[in-house]
Structure 1
Amino acid sequence: MTTSLATIHAIRLLKPIDAALYRAIRLEALAAHPEAFGSTFAREQEKPLTWFEARLAASDVFGAFMAEELVGVAGFHRQDGAKTEHKALLWGMYVRPNARKSGAARRLVDAVVVHATGQVEQLQLAVVSENAAAIRLYTAARFVEYGREVKALKHADRYYDEILMALFLNDSGQ
Protein backbone atom coordinates (compact mmCIF):
# COMPACT_ATOMS: atom_id res chain seq x y z
CA MET A 1 0.00 0.00 0.00
CA THR A 2 1.33 3.42 -0.96
CA THR A 3 0.74 6.44 1.22
CA SER A 4 0.80 9.99 0.03
CA LEU A 5 3.76 12.07 1.13
CA ALA A 6 1.55 15.13 0.93
CA THR A 7 -0.57 14.42 4.00
CA ILE A 8 -1.51 17.42 6.07
CA HIS A 9 -1.13 16.49 9.72
CA ALA A 10 -2.34 19.64 11.42
CA ILE A 11 -3.91 23.03 10.91
CA ARG A 12 -3.36 25.39 13.83
CA LEU A 13 -3.01 29.01 14.80
CA LEU A 14 0.58 30.13 14.61
CA LYS A 15 2.18 31.65 17.71
CA PRO A 16 5.13 34.02 18.07
CA ILE A 17 7.37 30.98 18.65
CA ASP A 18 6.57 29.99 15.01
CA ALA A 19 7.98 33.28 13.67
CA ALA A 20 11.01 31.74 11.91
CA LEU A 21 8.81 29.22 10.09
CA TYR A 22 6.30 31.93 9.21
CA ARG A 23 9.00 34.32 7.99
CA ALA A 24 10.41 31.65 5.65
CA ILE A 25 7.07 30.77 4.03
CA ARG A 26 5.96 34.39 3.84
CA LEU A 27 9.15 35.43 2.04
CA GLU A 28 8.84 32.42 -0.27
CA ALA A 29 5.27 33.48 -1.15
CA LEU A 30 6.29 37.08 -1.82
CA ALA A 31 9.24 36.00 -4.00
CA ALA A 32 7.34 33.32 -5.94
CA HIS A 33 4.15 35.31 -6.57
CA PRO A 34 4.89 39.03 -6.25
CA GLU A 35 1.77 39.88 -8.24
CA ALA A 36 -0.51 38.24 -5.68
CA PHE A 37 0.30 40.18 -2.52
CA GLY A 38 0.07 43.79 -1.46
CA SER A 39 3.44 43.63 0.27
CA THR A 40 6.80 42.90 -1.35
CA PHE A 41 9.74 40.56 -0.77
CA ALA A 42 12.10 43.56 -0.63
CA ARG A 43 10.05 45.18 2.15
CA GLU A 44 9.62 42.11 4.34
CA GLN A 45 13.04 40.49 3.90
CA GLU A 46 14.54 43.46 5.74
CA LYS A 47 12.28 42.97 8.75
CA PRO A 48 13.83 41.37 11.84
CA LEU A 49 12.43 38.15 13.26
CA THR A 50 10.88 40.18 16.08
CA TRP A 51 8.65 41.90 13.48
CA PHE A 52 7.25 38.51 12.45
CA GLU A 53 6.85 37.52 16.11
CA ALA A 54 4.85 40.70 16.73
CA ARG A 55 2.74 40.06 13.63
CA LEU A 56 1.83 36.58 14.86
CA ALA A 57 1.10 37.91 18.35
CA ALA A 58 -1.29 40.53 16.96
CA SER A 59 -2.86 38.46 14.15
CA ASP A 60 -4.73 35.24 13.64
CA VAL A 61 -2.59 33.32 11.14
CA PHE A 62 -3.29 29.65 10.54
CA GLY A 63 -0.62 27.22 9.43
CA ALA A 64 -0.87 23.88 7.64
CA PHE A 65 1.78 21.34 8.62
CA MET A 66 3.12 18.20 6.97
CA ALA A 67 5.04 16.56 9.78
CA GLU A 68 7.00 19.51 11.19
CA GLU A 69 7.11 21.52 7.95
CA LEU A 70 4.91 24.59 7.62
CA VAL A 71 3.49 24.20 4.10
CA GLY A 72 0.69 26.74 4.04
CA VAL A 73 -0.66 29.85 5.72
CA ALA A 74 -3.82 31.96 5.77
CA GLY A 75 -4.65 34.97 7.91
CA PHE A 76 -7.80 36.37 9.51
CA HIS A 77 -8.25 40.06 10.34
CA ARG A 78 -11.42 41.55 11.76
CA GLN A 79 -12.18 45.09 10.64
CA ASP A 80 -12.16 47.89 13.19
CA GLY A 81 -14.95 50.35 13.70
CA ALA A 82 -18.53 50.19 14.88
CA LYS A 83 -19.92 50.09 11.34
CA THR A 84 -17.47 47.53 9.88
CA GLU A 85 -16.72 45.16 12.76
CA HIS A 86 -19.20 42.67 11.30
CA LYS A 87 -16.66 41.97 8.51
CA ALA A 88 -13.27 40.29 8.41
CA LEU A 89 -10.61 39.63 5.80
CA LEU A 90 -9.02 36.35 4.76
CA TRP A 91 -5.50 37.44 3.76
CA GLY A 92 -2.01 36.16 2.98
CA MET A 93 -3.09 32.76 1.64
CA TYR A 94 -0.20 30.66 0.32
CA VAL A 95 0.53 26.94 -0.03
CA ARG A 96 3.96 25.64 -0.97
CA PRO A 97 4.17 23.73 -4.29
CA ASN A 98 4.95 20.40 -2.57
CA ALA A 99 1.65 20.61 -0.66
CA ARG A 100 -0.62 21.74 -3.47
CA LYS A 101 -3.40 19.30 -4.34
CA SER A 102 -3.08 17.82 -0.83
CA GLY A 103 -6.15 19.59 0.51
CA ALA A 104 -4.03 22.04 2.52
CA ALA A 105 -5.51 25.14 0.86
CA ARG A 106 -9.10 24.03 1.46
CA ARG A 107 -8.33 23.06 5.05
CA LEU A 108 -6.77 26.49 5.66
CA VAL A 109 -9.80 28.27 4.16
CA ASP A 110 -12.12 26.07 6.23
CA ALA A 111 -10.12 26.84 9.41
CA VAL A 112 -10.44 30.59 8.78
CA VAL A 113 -14.18 30.21 8.09
CA VAL A 114 -14.73 28.25 11.30
CA HIS A 115 -12.68 30.83 13.21
CA ALA A 116 -14.73 33.67 11.68
CA THR A 117 -18.08 32.06 12.39
CA GLY A 118 -19.61 33.60 15.47
CA GLN A 119 -17.19 36.54 15.33
CA VAL A 120 -18.30 38.20 12.10
CA GLU A 121 -21.14 38.01 9.61
CA GLN A 122 -19.05 38.36 6.46
CA LEU A 123 -15.62 37.09 5.45
CA GLN A 124 -14.06 38.93 2.51
CA LEU A 125 -10.99 38.39 0.34
CA ALA A 126 -9.31 39.76 -2.75
CA VAL A 127 -7.70 37.47 -5.32
CA VAL A 128 -5.75 38.36 -8.46
CA SER A 129 -8.10 37.80 -11.40
CA GLU A 130 -5.54 35.62 -13.21
CA ASN A 131 -5.28 33.12 -10.33
CA ALA A 132 -7.81 30.59 -11.60
CA ALA A 133 -6.87 27.89 -9.05
CA ALA A 134 -7.47 30.23 -6.11
CA ILE A 135 -10.76 31.45 -7.58
CA ARG A 136 -11.91 27.82 -7.94
CA LEU A 137 -10.91 27.14 -4.32
CA TYR A 138 -12.80 30.13 -2.95
CA THR A 139 -15.86 29.45 -5.12
CA ALA A 140 -15.92 25.84 -3.89
CA ALA A 141 -15.82 27.20 -0.33
CA ARG A 142 -18.99 29.24 -1.17
CA PHE A 143 -17.38 32.65 -1.57
CA VAL A 144 -19.18 34.80 -4.15
CA GLU A 145 -17.77 37.57 -6.30
CA TYR A 146 -19.13 41.00 -5.44
CA GLY A 147 -16.80 43.22 -7.41
CA ARG A 148 -13.54 43.82 -9.18
CA GLU A 149 -10.86 46.34 -8.41
CA VAL A 150 -9.26 47.28 -11.71
CA LYS A 151 -5.49 47.78 -11.55
CA ALA A 152 -5.52 46.91 -7.84
CA LEU A 153 -1.86 45.90 -7.77
CA LYS A 154 1.14 46.98 -9.84
CA HIS A 155 4.28 44.90 -10.15
CA ALA A 156 7.11 45.32 -12.66
CA ASP A 157 5.16 47.95 -14.61
CA ARG A 158 2.20 45.59 -15.02
CA TYR A 159 -1.22 46.02 -13.45
CA TYR A 160 -3.31 43.24 -11.93
CA ASP A 161 -7.04 43.32 -11.27
CA GLU A 162 -8.37 41.78 -8.09
CA ILE A 163 -11.67 39.96 -7.76
CA LEU A 164 -13.42 40.82 -4.51
CA MET A 165 -15.23 37.90 -2.91
CA ALA A 166 -17.29 37.40 0.23
CA LEU A 167 -18.76 34.57 2.24
CA PHE A 168 -21.88 35.46 4.23
CA LEU A 169 -21.66 33.48 7.44
CA ASN A 170 -25.27 34.10 8.48
CA ASP A 171 -26.49 32.24 5.35
CA SER A 172 -28.76 35.14 4.40
CA GLY A 173 -26.53 36.36 1.59
CA GLN A 174 -26.86 39.86 3.00
Structure 2
Amino acid sequence: FRNLRLYALQESPTSFSSAYEDEVARPLVHTIERLKHQQQPNNCIYGAFAQEELIGMAGFFQHEALKLRHKSIIWGVYVLPDWRRQGVARQMMEVILNQIRTLPAVKQVHVTVVNNNDNVAAKQMYLELGFVEWGVEPRAILIDGQYYDEACLVYMLD
Protein backbone atom coordinates (compact mmCIF):
# COMPACT_ATOMS: atom_id res chain seq x y z
CA PHE A 1 0.00 0.00 0.00
CA ARG A 2 2.69 2.48 1.03
CA ASN A 3 4.72 1.98 -2.15
CA LEU A 4 1.68 2.46 -4.37
CA ARG A 5 0.58 5.51 -2.40
CA LEU A 6 4.01 7.14 -2.67
CA TYR A 7 4.11 6.36 -6.39
CA ALA A 8 0.62 7.82 -6.83
CA LEU A 9 1.57 11.03 -5.03
CA GLN A 10 4.52 11.48 -7.40
CA GLU A 11 2.79 10.34 -10.60
CA SER A 12 -0.49 12.23 -10.06
CA PRO A 13 0.20 15.00 -7.52
CA THR A 14 -2.89 17.02 -8.46
CA SER A 15 -5.13 14.05 -7.64
CA PHE A 16 -4.34 14.16 -3.93
CA SER A 17 -4.39 16.71 -1.15
CA SER A 18 -1.50 14.85 0.49
CA ALA A 19 2.02 15.66 -0.70
CA TYR A 20 4.70 13.09 -1.48
CA GLU A 21 7.15 15.02 0.70
CA ASP A 22 4.88 14.72 3.75
CA GLU A 23 4.07 11.04 3.21
CA VAL A 24 7.62 9.84 2.52
CA ALA A 25 8.85 11.61 5.68
CA ARG A 26 6.47 9.60 7.87
CA PRO A 27 7.89 6.39 9.34
CA LEU A 28 6.57 3.03 8.15
CA VAL A 29 4.91 2.51 11.54
CA HIS A 30 2.59 5.42 10.71
CA THR A 31 1.30 3.56 7.64
CA ILE A 32 0.95 0.33 9.63
CA GLU A 33 -1.13 2.09 12.30
CA ARG A 34 -3.23 3.78 9.63
CA LEU A 35 -3.97 0.43 7.99
CA LYS A 36 -4.86 -1.17 11.33
CA HIS A 37 -7.36 1.62 12.02
CA GLN A 38 -8.91 1.22 8.59
CA GLN A 39 -10.10 -2.36 8.94
CA GLN A 40 -13.59 -1.55 10.12
CA PRO A 41 -16.92 -1.69 8.26
CA ASN A 42 -17.12 2.12 8.28
CA ASN A 43 -13.45 2.89 7.65
CA CYS A 44 -11.75 0.80 4.95
CA ILE A 45 -9.06 0.80 2.31
CA TYR A 46 -9.61 -1.40 -0.72
CA GLY A 47 -7.04 -2.67 -3.18
CA ALA A 48 -7.36 -3.88 -6.75
CA PHE A 49 -4.96 -6.64 -7.71
CA ALA A 50 -3.74 -8.19 -10.96
CA GLN A 51 -2.21 -11.52 -10.04
CA GLU A 52 -0.52 -10.45 -6.81
CA GLU A 53 0.34 -6.88 -7.83
CA LEU A 54 -1.52 -4.00 -6.19
CA ILE A 55 -2.69 -1.93 -9.17
CA GLY A 56 -5.28 0.31 -7.53
CA MET A 57 -6.50 1.57 -4.19
CA ALA A 58 -9.35 3.54 -2.70
CA GLY A 59 -10.50 4.29 0.81
CA PHE A 60 -13.54 5.58 2.60
CA PHE A 61 -14.56 6.54 6.08
CA GLN A 62 -17.75 7.46 7.86
CA HIS A 63 -17.55 10.62 9.93
CA GLU A 64 -17.47 9.86 13.66
CA ALA A 65 -18.94 13.13 14.94
CA LEU A 66 -22.58 12.78 15.95
CA LYS A 67 -23.82 15.53 13.64
CA LEU A 68 -21.82 14.20 10.68
CA ARG A 69 -22.33 10.42 10.95
CA HIS A 70 -24.72 10.52 8.01
CA LYS A 71 -21.77 11.35 5.74
CA SER A 72 -19.05 9.18 4.28
CA ILE A 73 -15.96 10.34 2.38
CA ILE A 74 -14.18 8.50 -0.43
CA TRP A 75 -10.46 9.29 -0.56
CA GLY A 76 -7.17 8.20 -2.10
CA VAL A 77 -8.55 6.71 -5.31
CA TYR A 78 -5.74 5.69 -7.64
CA VAL A 79 -5.11 3.19 -10.44
CA LEU A 80 -1.71 2.60 -12.06
CA PRO A 81 -1.50 4.24 -15.51
CA ASP A 82 -1.25 0.92 -17.42
CA TRP A 83 -4.53 -0.24 -15.84
CA ARG A 84 -6.61 2.90 -16.36
CA ARG A 85 -9.72 2.96 -18.57
CA GLN A 86 -10.28 -0.74 -17.92
CA GLY A 87 -12.95 -0.39 -15.24
CA VAL A 88 -10.66 -0.92 -12.24
CA ALA A 89 -11.64 2.31 -10.45
CA ARG A 90 -15.32 1.75 -11.26
CA GLN A 91 -15.19 -1.75 -9.75
CA MET A 92 -13.56 -0.40 -6.60
CA MET A 93 -16.22 2.33 -6.36
CA GLU A 94 -19.02 -0.20 -6.78
CA VAL A 95 -17.54 -2.34 -3.97
CA ILE A 96 -17.15 0.72 -1.74
CA LEU A 97 -20.67 1.99 -2.43
CA ASN A 98 -22.06 -1.47 -1.67
CA GLN A 99 -20.15 -1.51 1.62
CA ILE A 100 -21.38 1.97 2.51
CA ARG A 101 -24.97 0.89 1.80
CA THR A 102 -24.63 -1.60 4.70
CA LEU A 103 -24.07 1.30 7.12
CA PRO A 104 -27.58 2.36 8.16
CA ALA A 105 -26.60 5.82 9.40
CA VAL A 106 -24.86 6.87 6.16
CA LYS A 107 -27.13 8.81 3.81
CA GLN A 108 -24.58 10.53 1.57
CA VAL A 109 -21.15 9.84 0.11
CA HIS A 110 -18.78 12.67 -0.76
CA VAL A 111 -15.76 12.79 -3.05
CA THR A 112 -13.70 15.64 -4.48
CA VAL A 113 -11.93 15.73 -7.83
CA VAL A 114 -9.40 18.34 -8.91
CA ASN A 115 -10.69 20.19 -11.97
CA ASN A 116 -7.93 19.59 -14.51
CA ASN A 117 -7.34 17.57 -17.67
CA ASP A 118 -5.80 14.68 -15.72
CA ASN A 119 -9.05 14.02 -13.88
CA VAL A 120 -11.69 14.32 -16.60
CA ALA A 121 -12.18 10.54 -16.81
CA ALA A 122 -12.35 10.18 -13.02
CA LYS A 123 -14.98 12.90 -12.71
CA GLN A 124 -16.98 11.36 -15.55
CA MET A 125 -16.88 7.97 -13.81
CA TYR A 126 -18.32 9.46 -10.61
CA LEU A 127 -21.09 11.20 -12.56
CA GLU A 128 -21.93 7.95 -14.37
CA LEU A 129 -22.14 6.17 -11.00
CA GLY A 130 -24.77 8.68 -9.87
CA PHE A 131 -22.72 11.29 -8.05
CA VAL A 132 -23.87 14.88 -8.52
CA GLU A 133 -21.56 17.90 -8.56
CA TRP A 134 -22.82 20.36 -5.96
CA GLY A 135 -20.06 22.92 -6.01
CA VAL A 136 -16.45 23.86 -6.60
CA GLU A 137 -13.91 24.76 -3.95
CA PRO A 138 -11.67 27.40 -5.51
CA ARG A 139 -7.96 27.10 -4.82
CA ALA A 140 -8.49 23.85 -2.94
CA ILE A 141 -4.89 22.70 -3.24
CA LEU A 142 -1.60 24.45 -3.94
CA ILE A 143 1.24 22.67 -5.74
CA ASP A 144 4.47 24.42 -6.68
CA GLY A 145 2.83 27.84 -6.59
CA GLN A 146 -0.19 26.81 -8.69
CA TYR A 147 -3.70 26.61 -7.26
CA TYR A 148 -6.19 23.97 -8.33
CA ASP A 149 -9.95 24.01 -7.85
CA GLU A 150 -11.78 20.89 -6.67
CA ALA A 151 -15.19 19.73 -7.80
CA CYS A 152 -17.31 18.57 -4.86
CA LEU A 153 -19.58 15.61 -5.63
CA VAL A 154 -22.17 13.79 -3.57
CA TYR A 155 -24.02 10.49 -3.91
CA MET A 156 -27.30 10.31 -2.04
CA LEU A 157 -28.24 6.92 -0.62
CA ASP A 158 -31.87 7.72 0.19
Query: How far has the Cα of 1:57 moved from its partner?
Result: 1.1
Query: How far has the Cα of 1:99 moved from its partner?
Result: 1.1
**Residue aligning to 1:128:** 114
Matched, 1:153 2:137: no
Q: 1:78-157 to 2 correspondence within 5 Å?
A: 78-119=62-103, 120-130=106-116, 131-157=119-145
Q: 1:33-72 to 2 correspondence within 5 Å?
A: 33-59=12-38, 60-72=44-56
The size of the alignment, in residue pairs, is 149
Opposite residue 152 of structure 2, the aligned amino acid is L
CA-to-partner distance for each residue in 1:1-55, whole Å, 9 max, x for gaps?
Answer: xxxxxxxxxxxxxxxxxxxxx0011001100111221111111112222211111
User: Deviating runs (4+, > 4 A) in structure 1?
Assistant: none
Query: How far has the Cα of 1:118 moved from its partner?
Result: 2.9
The SS at the match of 2:121 is helix
Q: Which runs of 5+ in 1 are unaligned?
A: 1-21
Q: Distance between the aligned counterparts of 1:82 and 1:159, measured in 2?
A: 33
**Residue aligning to 1:9:** none
Give TM-score, length-normalised by structure 2: 0.91
CA-to-partner distance for each residue in 1:77-129, whole Å, 9 max, x for gaps?
Answer: 11121111000100000000121122111011111101111311100011001
Identical positions, percent: 36
Query: How far has the Cα of 1:151 moved from its partner?
Result: 0.4
The SS at the match of 2:102 is coil
Opposite residue 94 of structure 2, the aligned amino acid is D
Which one is further off, 35-44 or 151-160? 35-44
Q: Quick check: which one's helix share is greater?
A: 2
Give TM-score, length-normalised by structure 1: 0.83
Q: Which runs of 5+ in 2 are unaligned?
A: 39-43
The SS at the match of 1:163 is strand
The SS at the match of 2:67 is coil
Opposite residue 16 of structure 2, the aligned amino acid is F
Query: How far has the Cα of 1:166 moved from its partner?
Result: 0.5
